[in-house]
Amino acid sequence: MTVARFWREIPQRYNLVGTKCETCGAVFFPPRTLCPHCRRDGKIVPCKFSGKGKVMTYSVIHSASDQYFDLKPYVLAIIELEEGTRVTSHVICEPDDVYIGMPVKSVFRVLDCDGPDGVIHYGTKFTSDV
């Protein structure tokens, strides 16, 4: 089993976790500790997101920085999650295949690798959920 596959099979560690204001129901990702609507009256609790959402808008990136060189062109999108909050993320698909409103789901992937024996960063990306 590869290392990447090993990590992907521990989903609870890598689900999208943000926060939620129980007072007004607003959800936050990345997590916030203060509700901008309720301020000190807001009761903030952890919130696990389903990871399902849809593409609100996107860009196809043709000139990537060195660490993403192998990925270009790639799709960077603003995704609205089912819970109502938005996240900017890489979408794994052909640039011609992405469209506004495309259903997507979060997946766990290697984000980048700092050199041959360097640190490997893992994180959330999105793929088509059609």
CB of 37 or CB of 121, closer to Zn ion: 37
User: Is the link from the previous residue into 116 a cis peptide, with omega within 30 of 0?
Assistant: no
State the nearest-atom distance from the C-beta of 41 to Zn ion, in Å.
7
Residues that bind Zn ion (CB under 5 A): 21, 23-24, 26, 35, 37-38, 42
Q: How far apart are CA 74 and CA 67, in angstroms?
A: 13
Least distance in Å: CB of 34 to Zn ion? 9
Query: Is there a contact between 81 and 29 (Cβ–Cβ < 8 Å)?
Result: yes
Task: Specify the residue, 20 or 90, whose C-beta has the smaller distance to Zn ion.
Answer: 20
Choose among 20, 84, 95, 15: nearest CA to 54. 84
Distance in angstroms (rounded) separating the CA atoms of residues 103 and 82: 10
Nearer of residues 21 and 75 to Zn ion, judged by Cβ: 21
CB of 37 to Zn ion, least distance (A): 4
What is the nearest approach in angstroms of Zn ion to the Cβ of residue 7?
34
